Amino acid sequence: MKSHEEKLKRSPQRKGAGSKKENVPGFNALVSVVANNVRRIRKKKGLTQEEVSSLAGFNYRFYQKIESGKYSPNLYTLFRLAKQLQVKLSTLLRS
């Protein structure tokens, strides 16, 4: 029987949930659309990154990664952002 370490050595590297995916057509573009929409709406409402991250209950650095497009938020995270920014979830996904 293989040890856990041996299994890890042989298994392909998996990216964690929400990490930026590579080589998936259209995915990176969607992450950029979400990032740009979140930033645009935040600025339009006159909020800082610190304010939005605090209101949504996110770590500030985590929020920065979402807004910069370095992290792809899951559906629940998008829902929380939309709620705090007082917009429909679809608004965050619209190009």
Give 45 or 19, the one with higher predicted confidence. Answer: 45
What pLDDT is stored for residue 2 in this prediction? Answer: 55
What pLDDT is stored for residue 3 in this prediction? Answer: 52
Q: Tell me the pLDDT band of 50, cut-offs 50, 70 and 90.
A: very high
* Segments forming the whole domain that contains residue 50: 23-93
Tokens at residue 48, please? 């800082």
Name which of 34, 31, 11 is nearest 21 in CA terms.
Answer: 31
Round to whole Å and give the CA distance between 46 and 19: 28
Q: Are 14 and 8 in contact (CB under 8 A)?
A: no
Give 18 or 66, the one with higher predicted confidence. Answer: 66
Which amino acid belongs to residue 88? K
Let me know if residue 74 belongs to a domain.
yes
Q: How many structural domains are present in the chain? A: 1
Find the CATH number of the domain harbouring 70.
Answer: 1.10.260.40
Let me know if residue 2 belongs to a domain.
no
Q: Are 8 and 65 in contact (CB under 8 A)?
A: no
Does the pTM of the predicted model rise above 0.85? no
